[in-house]
Chain A
Amino acid sequence: MDDIAPAIELVGISKAFGPVQANKDISIRVMPGTIHGIIGENGAGKSTLMSILYGFYKADAGEVFINGQKTEIPDSQAAIAAGIGMVFQHFKLVQNFSVLENVVLGAEDGALLRPSLAKARKQLKSLAAEYELNVDPDAIIEDIGVGMQQRVEILKALYRQADILILDEPTGVLTPAEADQLFRILGRLKEEGKTIILITHKLREIMDITDTVSVMRRGEMDSTVKTSETNPADLAERMVGRKVLLRVDKVPAQPKDVVLEVKDLNITDEKGVHRLKSVSFNVRAGEILGIAGVSGNGQSELLEVLGGYEKATGHVLMNGVPLDLTGAHSDGQSRRARGIAHVPEDRQHEGLIMDFSAWENTAFGYHHDAKYQRNGLLMDNAAIMQDAQEKMDRFDVRPPNPMLAAKNFSGGNQQKIVVAREIERDPDLLLVGQPTRGVDIGAIEFIHQQIVALRDAGKAILLVSVELDEIMGLSDRIAVMFDGQIMGERLPQDTNEKELGLLMAGVTDGEAA
């Protein structure tokens, strides 16, 4: 083995942004024809390291060897020339171009498009046959699903003759089935001798597919081990630097009266697409109802309707009294007044104003509260500030500085600010969307504990998450959504990921059971 040069070897890579050392003396060897995982919490420096490899950043120190050759990578063109392809977490595709046009974009052979497109069409056909990467070359990107779009990204890299493929959190937007398909494709690529680097925070994916795994922590390379010689608990401990509880610790629920009753909820958007189809369920005080499903199957719309900023037809009763779903009282203010708090799915675009300081975000959505007003005219900024400081201390937000803009906190601490704001209202019903998306393991533990504590205080909780582990770990009952409908309800102790996965893929209740 030793006489084969590694496909990628990084030696002593360091990179600082101002006083922040994002990468500290990192060395790593990735052998050709293997799948190498890189895991670490948010801010551990994974993305910085890959950005250096792809030419987005210039390292302060260190060397890059590709296939044993020392290589300078000043920009992404050089990375592509060195045979490196990258599939970003957020796809970089032109939405109204066809698959073919996207593949060719930036790699045209001349001023005229026709010959390039013809060549690409032929290439795509052979790539599709070789790697089971079937995509209709004439389909328009906005018309195809995310799984397909991801394949287009992979095809783009292969069309540019990439031998080394870097994938950044590739399964974040996929169903379990789509993820399996992706892994099959990655397996094929590996068989054909390609080298793959998989950046992820999902321990299961690392265990399932990689040959070797590197763990990064706070900008440093903690360790590189053979996947066959480790286990999830060991990896989690290496990531965080301490023992982590992977399961949520909770006592059985004590459900009481129905707090939220949803009956026959429907949404038809302006294009005539049915976003919600006769959705009915209820949530009782003292229980967590988890809604599982791949993102984009109506969960977001459901949360938006209940949160007051999407219109719908049907009936929703809150403590037995109907909510206004279309009229003047279907807004966030009215919902909050009815005892509904909402941790939205997208904290960066909904839950927080990133440019506002933490203290201003503490009042966000509750800025009409009497306790935040000084008199009829002015707001009591001092009261908001004090409130913010208390909440940040109680929820261990770091750094505990309310003057800092929300965008300057890590994902986990941003989420703690939102969760603190919503839970501290002592709501009757808490809507929670993707509570731990992009949140580091330490903060996940804390946020889960807070949600369970609210349940134990006798409140109703509606949890929406695309992470099956989270749904299984937190929920007292599980409903699965697919294509705007509830496919079925299960108790966590009576079901398993396979069954839920089938429901999430649209297999009807009878067939899945």
Chain B
Amino acid sequence: MDKMPKWADVVLVPVVSLLLAAIISVIVFLTIGQNPWEALKLMAFGAVGTSDFLGYTLFYATNFIFTGLAVAVAFHASLFNIGGEGQVLLGGLGAAVVVLLVPWPHWTLALIAGGTAAAVFGALWVVIPAYLQARRGSHIVITTIMFNFMASGLLIYALSGPLKPEGQMQVASALFPEAAHLPSLNDIAQIFGSDMFGRSPVNISILIALLACVAVWALIWHTRLGYQIRALGRSESAARYAGISAVNITMITLLISGGLAGMMAINNTMGINSPQLVDNAAGGAGFIGIAVALMGRNHPIGIVIAALLFGALYQGGAELSAATSIPVQIVVVIQALVIMFTGALDEMVRAPIEKLFIRFGRSRTVEE
């Protein structure tokens, strides 16, 4: 029997998780002698208070939508791809190589070429872990996290060697050519005479992210491949009976997952105000994607909402530490609390709520 109605699973559990994270955050603020209410107001203002700030929130949310989708697609096959971080870096590398090597005449072409390269590089970075999982049973969690370190090393090598412009001190690639710059939402707003989103980097990639959400939704619930992915994820033995190849589906799913993570590069590498590839291009988005997918229940709509929340937290937190004496580490603690409660401690919140529903008998049950 279903233990509780769907709305409780989708809405109540995350809300209670957030409340718990908020309560602990309040205690943290009180401990360091700060007024939690003031801090919250500052954070909220920092996240959505001005159209600049809102733009930054949307920019971060775009990153998290890509990595959240990447984790979610793999989750549907019961695969835990925690290598988003590395796949994002490789995606950045792919985009940078393609955009720097070829003089694209227009940003649309650069976007298509760069996006494709980012997806392909992200997917390629997961080929070896996927093969080892599908054929040899090496656990994907171990291999993908190891590949994160390798990706980081590879990127630093590329940025301090082959991709480093001569005479530059910074560990970064050259700036991408002007023609390849993606229009920011501000650029678009200006066409209509508005200065919405100001200097924030939110750009056309957010539309690509939303398109990716629709594509993932259609893939998972409306295609045969998605059907097979979900079947394999729910029951490997049943998939075997049905003639669904675990090896093929595992490989394909992980390639799609890696590709989605890689595509984040169009936002954080090609889409920023001075587009170039830097060494910390992923900025933890690969890991936040796990929390986003968990909180969003692996559904694109949930992922968009969760990504917006984490985007706001990220941006609001940055403003909070900039505007007050609250150390940036405390902001990281708050973010970690939210990730912990909505992600890792999900079961801790869910179990008592399920019990309540069973006790009060409101759940829809069917005689067994």
Q: Which residues in B have their C-beta under 8 angstroms from that of A353?
A: 230-231, 234-235, 238
Q: Which residues in A have their C-beta under 8 angstroms from that of B361?
A: 16, 18-19
Mark A235-274 against chain B: 1 for CB-CB distance below 8 A, else 0: 0000000000000000000000000000000000000000
Partner of B241, one of A17, A363, A365, A410: A365
Q: Which residues in B have their C-beta under 8 angstroms from that of A322?
A: none
Determine whether the beta carbon of B2 is less than 8 Å from that of A367. Answer: no
| Given A354-B235, A378-B222, A379-B227; A18-B358 close (CB under 8 Å) | yes
Kindly state whether residue B367 has any CB partner on chain A within 8 Å: yes
CB of A406, distance to nearest CB on chain B (Å): 10
Q: Which residues in A have their C-beta under 8 angstroms from that of B138?
A: none
Closest residue of chain B to A333, judged by CB? B243
Q: Which of B326-368 contact A (CB under 8 A)?
A: 358, 361-363, 365-368
Interface centre among B1, B231, B244, B366 (most CB of A within 10 A): B366
Q: A30-38, A153-161, A172-180, A341-349: which lies at the B interface? A: A341-349
* Assembled-state Cα–Cα distance A344/B239 (Å): 12
CB of A302, distance to nearest CB on chain B (Å): 15
Kindly state whether residue A114 has any CB partner on chain B within 8 Å: no
Determine whether the beta carbon of B223 is less than 8 Å from that of A351. Answer: no
Interface centre among B227, B358, B365 (most CB of A within 10 A): B227
CB of B219, distance to nearest CB on chain A (Å): 10
Kindly state whether residue A43 has any CB partner on chain B within 8 Å: yes
Closest residue of chain A to B359, judged by CB? A18
Determine whether the beta carbon of A351 is less than 8 Å from that of B243. Answer: no
Q: Which residues in A have their C-beta under 8 angstroms from that of B141?
A: none
* Assembled-state Cα–Cα distance A19/B240 (Å): 37
Kindly state whether residue A356 has any CB partner on chain B within 8 Å: yes
| Given A20-B365, A368-B224, A378-B223; A354-B237 close (CB under 8 Å) | no
Q: Which residues in B have their C-beta under 8 angstroms from that of A16?
A: 361
Q: Which residues in A have their C-beta under 8 angstroms from that of B321?
A: none
Kindly state whether residue A395 has any CB partner on chain B within 8 Å: no
Determine whether the beta carbon of B231 is less than 8 Å from that of A334. Answer: no
| Given A18-B361, A349-B237; A409-B231 close (CB under 8 Å) | no
Q: Which residues in A have their C-beta under 8 angstroms from that of B235?
A: 349-350, 353-355
* Assembled-state Cα–Cα distance A404/B245 (Å): 27
Q: Which of A280-316 contact B (CB under 8 A)?
A: 307-309
Closest residue of chain A to B236, judged by CB? A349
Kindly state whether residue A27 has any CB partner on chain B within 8 Å: no
Kindly state whether residue A148 has any CB partner on chain B within 8 Å: no
| Given A309-B240, A333-B243, A355-B234; A360-B227 close (CB under 8 Å) | yes
* Assembled-state Cα–Cα distance A18/B230 (Å): 30
* Assembled-state Cα–Cα distance A331/B244 (Å): 8
Closest residue of chain B to A335, judged by CB? B243
Determine whether the beta carbon of B365 is less than 8 Å from that of A19. Answer: yes
CB of B224, distance to nearest CB on chain A (Å): 6
Partner of A342, one of B222, B227, B241, B362: B241
Kindly state whether residue A377 has any CB partner on chain B within 8 Å: yes
Mark A10-23 against chain B: 1 for CB-CB distance below 8 A, else 0: 00000011111000
CB of A16, distance to nearest CB on chain B (Å): 8
Q: Which residues in A have their C-beta under 8 angstroms from that of B367?
A: 20, 43, 410
Q: Which residues in A have their C-beta under 8 angstroms from that of B241?
A: 307, 309, 332, 342, 344, 350-351, 365
Partner of A17, one of B230, B243, B365: B365
Kindly state whether residue A408 has any CB partner on chain B within 8 Å: yes
Q: What's the tally of chain A residues with a CB closer than 8 Å to chain B?
A: 44
| Given A351-B238, A353-B234; A334-B224 close (CB under 8 Å) | no
Kindly state whether residue B142 has any CB partner on chain A within 8 Å: no
* Assembled-state Cα–Cα distance A336/B242 (Å): 9
Q: Which residues in B have their C-beta under 8 angstroms from that of A309?
A: 240-241, 243
Interface centre among A352, A381, A408 (most CB of B within 10 A): A408
Determine whether the beta carbon of B365 is less than 8 Å from that of A43. Answer: no
Closest residue of chain A to B365, judged by CB? A18
Determine whether the beta carbon of B368 is less than 8 Å from that of A43. Answer: yes
Q: Which of A374-390 contact B (CB under 8 A)?
A: 377-379, 381
Determine whether the beta carbon of A332 is less than 8 Å from that of B242. Answer: yes
Partner of B243, one of A43, A332, A404: A332
Kindly state whether residue A232 has any CB partner on chain B within 8 Å: no
CB of A170, distance to nearest CB on chain B (Å): 22
Kindly state whether residue B228 has any CB partner on chain A within 8 Å: yes
Kindly state whether residue A116 has any CB partner on chain B within 8 Å: no
Determine whether the beta carbon of A364 is less than 8 Å from that of B243. Answer: no
Kindly state whether residue B218 has any CB partner on chain A within 8 Å: yes
* Assembled-state Cα–Cα distance A333/B243 (Å): 5
CB of A57, distance to nearest CB on chain B (Å): 12
Partner of B224, one of A17, A19, A351, A379: A379
Q: Which of B153-211 contact A (CB under 8 A)?
A: none
Partner of A381, one of B222, B234, B366: B222
Kindly state whether residue A224 has any CB partner on chain B within 8 Å: no
Closest residue of chain A to B366, judged by CB? A408
Determine whether the beta carbon of A18 is less than 8 Å from that of B1. Answer: yes
Give 11 pairs: A residue, B residue, CB < 8 Å, sorted on A: A335-B243, A336-B243, A349-B235, A350-B238, A350-B240, A351-B238, A354-B234, A356-B234, A378-B223, A381-B222, A408-B2
Chain B residues near A (Cβ < 8 Å): 1-2, 218, 221-224, 227-228, 230-231, 234-235, 237-238, 240-245, 358, 361-363, 365-368
Known: A332-B241, A364-B238, A378-B223. 10 other contacts (CB 8 A): A17-B365, A19-B365, A332-B242, A342-B241, A349-B235, A350-B240, A352-B238, A367-B242, A377-B223, A381-B221
Among all A-B residue pairs, the 6 with the closest Cβ atoms: A332-B243, A333-B243, A365-B242, A350-B241, A18-B361, A331-B243
